[in-house]
Amino acid sequence: MTVKRFNLLKKTVFFAAAMAFSWGSMAPVSADTIRLAYRSKGCEMDLVRKALDAWMKKHNGEHTVDVIILPHSSSECYALYKQWFGAGSFDIDVLQADIAWLNSFSDYWQPLDEYCQDIDQSDYFDVIRENMLDNDGRIIALPMYADCGVMYYRRDLLEKYNKKVPETLEELYETALYIQNEERKDEAKKNRFYGLVYQAKAFEILTCNFAELLDAFGGTIVKAGKAEVNSPQGIRAIEFLVKCIRNIMSSSVLNYSEEDARGMFQSGNAVFMRNWPYAYALMNDPSTAVSGKIGVMVIPPSANGGKESGCLGGWFVAVSKYSKHKELAADLARFISSKEQQKIRVNFAYLPTFKSLYSDCDIERTNPFVVSMKNMLLNAVSRPSKYFHTNYQKASSEIYNVVNIMLMDSLEDRNAEYDPGRSLKRLNEKLNSLLSQPARVPSKQNAPEASEKENSAGQDGFFKSILKGAFAFPQKG
Amino acid sequence: MEFCDLQKIKKRQNVDFSNWLFLAPCLSVLALCAGWPLLRTVFFSFTNATLDHLSGASFIGVDNFLSLARDRDWWKAVRNTFLIAGISVPLETIFGMMVALILHQNFRGRGWMRAIVLVPWTIPTIVSSRIWAWMLNDVYGIINELLMRVSIIDAPIPWIASTSLSITSMIVVEVWKTTPYMALLLLAGLQAMPQDCFEAAAVDGVPFRKIFKSIILPIMKPTIIVSVIFRALDAIRIFDLVYILSSGNNANATMSVYARRHLVDYADVGFGSAAATALLFFIAFLCVLYVSFNQRKLQDLE
């Protein structure tokens, strides 16, 4: 079938569908309704709704905000954004974005410098500021909260066995093994008590965990544009994980993500847990078995070189280039990422992105936990997303796949296949080939032209833009 | 005579036309909801489209299929898919037959029983897979707990953590889930069977094993073949169960999980469509092979 005939078909079908759905674009969208795409993970949605109420009040109710709820999983949000932006024009003004892929959409974010001239950029953590600016140094997003991998431990158990908080990974291993063996003498805990609980499901979380572990061993994933996982540090990091999974971790961590790990730790079945700060507030709920018995520390360094670590995470808000109300959208983005709003979120263990908030006396009094996180954020390590740009998802998936399979092989009687040196070498080659591949940047003729698109954005409703995506066809050339 | 024939033909033409008229709404919905996406997927598999640049893509011929054929992970996914389908479908058929034979008997509460048996199949797969994932958890899963209580095992088994075990677990859950479906199809076949053969056999005092081998199996053969085809095609595109029960790595992905990963996670619509198209070809090929293989036998039976 020729392209021409397809086009004809496309036109007919699109026309019919557009007729059927035209109510989508005819729905009353007043000039001052801002559409915000936001995730509903944990208590985030309640918090942001309160913030939105405050924002509407600030504007005397002149403007309203529509919230579009995003999927929980960060990678699903990523795919959704790809589709939305690919459709060319849609009327969502403000979007939440993960630090891991914020930069791969940099062509689609509206630079916010003109709306943010009075923001003191030096008050942001350096690692955060690096990510909120594009390659030309323009502000493309405003950080709402930061995240950082931490190690939780059971204070009561360390005290019970007279152990001190470990300062190195090796010490952590010994302590965990000792307490695990002691606790297992109790028949009820025999087969369900573990030294450490981790997340090793083949998902983004494992890339985070590997990045920070590598950092704690003094290695890095990408250095000066070249992949460096196949290093002595890389092998030591993997060997450490293997030692853990053979002795102090349940092998089911291979299928664990954050919430599974929290479930296990929260029911009192582990001494240590690697997780994000969000778990702190939830685990200290009086209904849990570990409430009031938890301590938090940085991911400790290895004894033979390395540094304290923790993988950097965090969510930003950005304004779409296709927005019809850029100024208002920027105002909303600024409002929900402002110091005042971040101070409210502190109570739910969302880490502020402003350094000055960590010396705020209210926060010091009510949330000493959050204040103690400042050092960890200063030590945090970023995932290598900026090196891979639009290829980051592929790179990340190579990493988590290889690490997950190595751990799996180390377990079974398939030990013959377990060879960290070979696996890491292969991973290194794959990462290097992704690094040398030119990232798929939009060709000029398809690049979003703000002025031209703005007009079409004015006419296209939400449904219509989705339909456009559904019927888009490549042109020859 | 001639006049009569002409009228008959005219009449038939009218019927033909109204046939199509009645079919039109259904066909147009099918074309829009199934035909169009299918065509588009095949079309995209020859392009380098990405999720955000569907219209900016260009044709690259069969490059996607070539790199698909070279990808070891793809062949691993093909192997996993056929492993799961190849083991679970025969098991489902055998268990389904057993359940159908039991439900075919006359006993009190048979109607209720038939409804209850269907429960595993009616729960949305995503929900039942989640439930199974919790039950199979090695730390707080009920299955390990039970096995340890009755001293079958000493230490918990990581059912869904290691590659070979997780595929076994997937097969078990798949069999649990779709046996009722098989049973339902086979039961319908059993009930359509002429009862006089059974009565004659009963009068002659033929043992059940012989009745099963010489009466039930031959008469049921077309039903069994059709059910197996249905299930096999269904099993080849298995997705949600694998998505939940596996730890997400390439070692135990199936074809549809592989296609989704490239289409959605990597936003690589061209390559992902090629994988989806290859899956379609597998299904179509098997369909044709199986039907043509059985055509003769089916005709013989009729």
All residues of chain A having their beta carbon less than 8 Å from the beta carbon of residue B148 are: 191
Whether the pLDDT of residue B293 is over 60: the answer is yes
Residue of A nearest to B264 (CA): A79
Residue of A nearest to B158 (CA): A252
Alpha-carbon separation of residue B116 from A244, B100, B103, B119, B121 (angstroms): 45, 13, 11, 6, 10
Is residue B152 within 8 angstroms of chain A, CB to CB?
no
Virtual torsion, Cα B219, B222, B224, B228, nearest 10 deg: 170
CA B21-B25-B27 angle, to 5 degrees, is 95
Q: Which domain holds residue B275?
A: 45-301
B77-95 mean pLDDT:
94
Distance between CA A120 and CA A140 in Å, rounded?
15
ipTM for this prediction: 0.76
Whether the pLDDT of residue A389 is over 60: the answer is yes
Whether the pLDDT of residue A447 is over 70: the answer is no
Q: Is A329 exposed, middle or buried, given 0-12, 13-18 or 19+ CB atoms closer than 10 A?
A: buried
DSSP string computed for A99-155: TTTGGGGGGGBPP-GGG-TT--GGGB-HHHHHHHB-TTS-B--EEEEEEE-EEEEEH
Residue of A nearest to B53 (CA): A86
Is residue B118 within 8 angstroms of chain A, CB to CB?
no
Are residues B40 and A473, on separate chains, in Cβ contact within 8 Å?
Answer: yes
Are residues B139 and A192, on separate chains, in Cβ contact within 8 Å?
Answer: yes
Whether the pLDDT of residue A18 is over 50: the answer is no
A449-470 mean pLDDT:
48
CA distance A407 to chain B (A): 9
Question: Inter-axis angle of helices B269-301 and B36-44, to 10 degrees?
Answer: 120
Closest CB from B57, B247, B261 relative to A254: B247
pLDDT at B1: 47
Same-domain status, B4 and B70: no
User: Quick check: do A28-147+313-381 and A150-310+387-436 share a fold?
Assistant: yes
Is residue B158 within 8 angstroms of chain A, CB to CB?
yes
Residue A151 near residue A270 (C-beta atoms within 8 A): no
Residue A331, SS3 per DSSP: helix
Are residues B139 and A252, on separate chains, in Cβ contact within 8 Å?
Answer: yes
Are residues A202 and B49, on separate chains, in Cβ contact within 8 Å?
Answer: no
All residues of chain B having their beta carbon less than 8 Å from the beta carbon of residue A477 are: 58
Number of domains in chain B: 2
Distance between CA A474 and CA B273 in Å, rounded?
14
Same-domain status, B2 and B55: no
pLDDT at B274: 95
- Dmax (CA) of chain A: 78
pLDDT at A89: 62
Closest CB from A192, A472, A474 relative to B58: A474
Are residues A82 and B52, on separate chains, in Cβ contact within 8 Å?
Answer: yes
Are residues B264 and A269, on separate chains, in Cβ contact within 8 Å?
Answer: no
Q: What residues are paired with A272 via a beta bridge?
A: A153, A196
Share of chain A above pLDDT 90, in %: 43
Q: What residues are paired with A223 via a beta bridge?
A: A226
Comparing CA positions, the residue from A313, A305, A101, A148 lying closest to residue A215 is A305
Residue A8 CB partners (closer than 8 Å, separation 6+): none
Distance between CA A177 and CA A278 in Å, rounded?
26
Q: What residues are paired with A152 via a beta bridge?
A: A273, A296
**How is domain A150-310+387-436 classified at the architecture level of CATH?**
3-Layer(aba) Sandwich (3.40)
User: Which residue has tokens 């439900």?
Assistant: B103
Give the pLDDT band of residue B11 (cuts 50, 70, 90).
low
pLDDT at A450: 42
Residue B98 CB partners (closer than 8 Å, separation 6+): none
pLDDT at A400: 93
Q: Supply B12's token pair.
A: 């038939």
Whether the pLDDT of residue A76 is over 50: the answer is yes
Are residues A82 and B55, on separate chains, in Cβ contact within 8 Å?
Answer: no
Closest CB from A202, A411, A474 relative to B54: A474
Comparing CA positions, the residue from B175, B207, B176, B184 lying closest to residue B99 is B184
pLDDT at A451: 40
Distance between CA A329 and CA A227 in Å, rounded?
39
What's the pLDDT tens digit per position in A237-296? 999 999 999 999 988 898 888 888 998 999 899 999 999 988 888 898 888 899 899 999
Q: What residues are paired with A294 via a beta bridge?
A: A154
Amino acid letter, A448: P
Residue of A nearest to B161 (CA): A252
Residue B229 near residue B93 (C-beta atoms within 8 A): no
Comparing CA positions, the residue from B253, B272, B284 lying closest to residue B64 is B272
Closest CB from B163, B248, B265 relative to A393: B265
Q: Supply A30's token pair.
A: 């007043």
Residue A147 near residue A313 (C-beta atoms within 8 A): yes
Residue of B nearest to A267 (CA): B140
What's the pLDDT tens digit per position in A158-208? 999 999 999 999 999 999 999 999 999 988 777 789 999 999 998 889 999
Residue B141 CB partners (closer than 8 Å, separation 6+): B134, B135, B156, B159
Residue B68 CB partners (closer than 8 Å, separation 6+): B74, B271, B274, B275, B278
Same-domain status, B144 and B166: yes
All residues of chain B having their beta carbon less than 8 Å from the beta carbon of residue A263 are: 140
A442-452 mean pLDDT:
42
Pairing between strand A222-223 and A226-227?
Answer: antiparallel
Same-domain status, B112 and B129: yes
Residue A372, SS3 per DSSP: helix
Are residues A191 and B155, on separate chains, in Cβ contact within 8 Å?
Answer: yes
Of A7-21, A249-263, B115-129, the range with the lowest mean pLDDT is A7-21
Whether the pLDDT of residue A392 is over 90: the answer is no
DSSP state of A188: G
B94-109 mean pLDDT:
90
Residue B186 CB partners (closer than 8 Å, separation 6+): B96, B97, B100, B220, B223, B224, B227
Closest CB from A6, A86, A414 relative to B51: A86
User: Which residue has tokens 């590598």?
Assistant: A214
A5-13 mean pLDDT:
50
Are residues B53 and A79, on separate chains, in Cβ contact within 8 Å?
Answer: no
Give the pLDDT band of residue A387 (cuts 50, 70, 90).
confident
> Domain coordinates of chain A in residue numbers?
28-147+313-381, 150-310+387-436
Q: Supply B90's token pair.
A: 């025969």
Give the pLDDT band of residue A11 (cuts 50, 70, 90).
low
Whether the pLDDT of residue A359 is over 70: the answer is yes
Are residues A86 and B52, on separate chains, in Cβ contact within 8 Å?
Answer: yes
Q: Is A417 exposed, middle or buried, given 0-12, 13-18 or 19+ CB atoms closer than 10 A?
A: middle
Distance between CA B201 and CA A217 in Å, rounded?
77
Residue of B nearest to A17 (CA): B32
DSSP state of A439: P
Are residues A393 and B49, on separate chains, in Cβ contact within 8 Å?
Answer: no
Whether the pLDDT of residue A14 is over 90: the answer is no
Whether the pLDDT of residue A458 is over 80: the answer is no
Of A328-337, A441-450, B181-190, B287-296, the range with the lowest mean pLDDT is A441-450
pLDDT at B110: 85
Average pLDDT, chain A: 83
Tell how far CA A462 is from the center of its chain. 27
Give the pLDDT band of residue A21 (cuts 50, 70, 90).
very low
Comparing CA positions, the residue from A230, A192, A237 lying closest to residue A215 is A237
What's the pLDDT tens digit per position in B155-169? 788 888 777 788 899
Pairing between strand A270-275 and A194-197?
Answer: parallel
Same-domain status, B182 and B99: yes
Distance between CA B155 and CA B147 in Å, rounded?
9
Are residues A412 and B57, on separate chains, in Cβ contact within 8 Å?
Answer: no
Give the pLDDT band of residue B223 (cuts 50, 70, 90).
confident
Distance between CA A91 and CA B3 in Å, rounded?
67
pLDDT at A20: 47
Same-domain status, B262 and B189: yes
More confident residue, A416 or B74: B74
Is residue B162 within 8 angstroms of chain A, CB to CB?
yes
| Strand (E) or helix (H) holding A404 | helix A392-411
Distance between CA B36 and CA B30 in Å, rounded?
9
Give the pLDDT band of residue A414 (cuts 50, 70, 90).
low
More confident residue, B271 or A8: B271
pLDDT at B50: 83
CA distance B238 to chain A (A): 19
Are residues A86 and B54, on separate chains, in Cβ contact within 8 Å?
Answer: yes
Task: Please provide the CATH number assigned to the domain covering A28-147+313-381.
Answer: 3.40.190.10
For every residue of chain B, which 3-state class applies, written as one string? CHHHHHHHHHHHHHHHHHHHHHHHHHHHHHHHHHHHHHHHHHHHCCECCECCECCCCCECCCHHHHHHHHCHHHHHHHHHHHHHHHHHHHHHHHHHHHHHHHHHCCCCCHHHHHHHHCHHHHCCHHHHHHHHHHHHCCCCCHHHHHHHHCCCCCCCCCCCCCHHHHHHHHHHHHHHHHHHHHHHHHHHHHHCCCHHHHHHHHHHCCCHHHHHHHHHHHHHHHHHHHHHHHHHHHHHCCCHHHHHHCCCCHHHCCHHHHHHHHHHHCCCHHHHHHHHHHHHHHHHHHHHHHHHHHHHHHHHHC
Residue A67 CB partners (closer than 8 Å, separation 6+): A35, A36, A37, A38, A45, A48, A49, A52
Average pLDDT, chain B: 86
A325-330 mean pLDDT:
91
Same-domain status, B26 and B98: no
Are residues A474 and B59, on separate chains, in Cβ contact within 8 Å?
Answer: yes
Same-domain status, B8 and B129: no
Whether the pLDDT of residue A473 is over 80: the answer is no
Q: What is the CATH number of the domain that holds B181?
A: 1.10.3720.10
Whether the pLDDT of residue A455 is over 50: the answer is no
Are residues B56 and A252, on separate chains, in Cβ contact within 8 Å?
Answer: no
Same-domain status, B133 and B32: no
Same-domain status, B128 and B7: no
More confident residue, A36 or B265: A36
Same-domain status, B28 and B52: no
All residues of chain B having their beta carbon less than 8 Å from the beta carbon of residue A82 are: 50-52, 267
CA distance A456 to chain B (A): 16
**Other C-beta atoms within 10 Å of A314: how many?**
25
Share of chain B above pLDDT 90, in %: 37
